[in-house]
Structure 1
Amino acid sequence: MSENHDDLTFSSLGPADSEVVIEREFAVAKEILFRAFTDPDMLAAWFGPAGWPVPRETIEIDPREGGVFRLTMVAEDETAESAVDAVIEVFEPPHRLHSSEAPQPMTGFSERTRLHLDFEDGASGGTLLKLRQGLFPAAVIAPATDGWHSSFVKLDALLAQTW
């Protein structure tokens, strides 16, 4: 069960020196999983942890190296939002999607963060997703990891009903 990390304050988290690292197999082909990360309609259906949906109208993706990857997660009670404003650095469908995200003033992070998504053949016939994201202060790793796992529950549900 995930912990509640709502009480984090970003002003005293320490230096950015840690990464979120997740390896997870999905029961679909690489092409489908890659599309789930690059198709705006699919992203709107699953991206963001529970309680933080992504309105379709906030999603802008230019799927190419140098293209943008933007979206906004909005708290269900509409009291907060969290924007992603990234540039795609590596775009190799259906194998690699790497991006770097602009610093977010609300977090106090002053450097770009990187997101590396690598899609490999999985042991069970699906796709093994290897995700690396950071650098973050160590205190952010657990809530960020929980957020990805929560998002992946929604992605599993979408994939199960679609494929």
Structure 2
Amino acid sequence: MPVTDVQTDAEALTMTLTAEFDAPVERLWRAFTDPRQLERFWGPPGWPATFPEFDFTVGGHARYFMTSPRGEKSWGSWEFLEIDAPRGFTVLDAFANEEGAPLEGMPVMRVVFAFEPTATGSRMVNTSYFASADALEQVVAFGAVEGSTMAINQLDRVLQSLREYAEGKGTQTEILDDTHVRITRLVEGPRELVWRAHQEPELLEQWMLGPDGWRMSVCEVDPAVGGRYRYEWEPVGDTPGEAFGFDGETLLSEAPRRAVTTEHMTGTDYPSTLNDLSLEEEDGVTLLTILIEYPDKQTRDMVLATGMTEGMEASYRRLEGVLERVG
């Protein structure tokens, strides 16, 4: 993981994050000064950022919002105070309203982004300066240490091309914490088609089958926000196992970039999970990421023990075949 250290200093009124990257300073600079690249990592998993305004000049402003899996938006703003390409820049960072005005009673921080070369690539030292100990404590209580660490740890996938990052690795499962798991899979095909394959029943029925020997017997999908879906599978021939299914509701839909749904095992009293699907396209391939939120660690471990990753990989191999035929 890129983040090597996060320190808070109550006397100096600072929070300092240090991260190391296998990329030159110039590449790191571009990732932080191009809003489209910033959107790919600024914001922890489950809260991706959007920058509708980005005036990268001294005295200019940037506005951004992070969107939760349930659609809530948290706004922030930057005022650019200093720019020293490619060594770093300084901003005033504020919790803001939709127009970019700082929220009354919320901390405003001076944040220095400093980039320096290393023997293997580059280092970022990100230092936030606070006006008071109360302001520092308030931001830390909001989860700034954990959130900023998880956000910056996503930067590797931006500094590399998607093919360099994920090609040939198959379906990867990463445990983020007790209740969150991230699934990634590089899919050969454009994002628009990958999105359609997750929304249209006639396509879903061709690939979302899990291991060989199973068929999808029910596929009902209303992909609109508030709409519901129901999937059921049954074994074919002599394949062992009993029919089962899942149902849920669409909480967020931002075609063709992101969809968030609940998932409940039909006919059981098991708690639902939250499945946050996001799609990124580059050079004809799409990186598919699913952030799964479980109700607790026990449920997380129980689901992972079912061979979920292997079943998903079998389905994604079929998906690529479907995309080739449709495309």
Write the mapping of 1:103-142 to structure 2, written as runs, cut at 5 A.
103-105=265-267, 109=270, 111-122=271-282, 124-135=283-294, 136-142=299-305
Q: Does the 8 Å CA contact 1:23/1:129 hold for their aligned counterparts?
A: yes
Q: What's the CA shift for 1:86?
A: 0.8
Between Structure 1 and Structure 2, how many residues are aligned?
A: 142
Gaps of 5+ in 2: 1-177
TM-score, normalised via structure 2 length: 0.40
Pairing partner for 2:197 from 33, 36, 58: 36
Bigger helix share: 1
Q: Which has the higher contact order (CA 8 A, sep 6+)?
A: 1
Partner residue of 2:244? 82
Q: What's the CA shift for 1:134?
A: 4.0
C-alpha distance 104-23 of structure 1, shift in aligned 2 (>3 A): same
Partner residue of 2:229? 69
Kindly provide the amino acid, as one letter, of the partner of residue 138 in structure 1. D
Report which of the two structures shows the higher radius of gyration computed on alpha carbons: 2
TM-score, normalised via structure 1 length: 0.77
Kindly provide the amino acid, as one letter, of the partner of residue 303 in structure 2. V
Partner residue of 2:258? 96
Bigger strand share: 2
Kindly provide the amino acid, as one letter, of the partner of residue 81 in structure 1. A
**Is it true that 1:156 corresponds to 2:296 in the alignment?**
no
Pairing partner for 1:54 from 207, 210, 216: 216
> Deviations 1:71-110 (Å, cap 9, x if unpaired)?
101122475112110100111110111100235455x63x
Using the alignment, how far apart are the partners of 2:214 and 2:276 within structure 1?
Answer: 22
C-alpha distance 20-105 of structure 1, shift in aligned 2 (>3 A): farther
Partner residue of 1:13? none
**Is it true that 1:22 corresponds to 2:187 in the alignment?**
no
C-alpha distance 18-104 of structure 1, shift in aligned 2 (>3 A): farther
Using the alignment, how far apart are the partners of 1:19 and 1:75 within structure 2?
Answer: 30
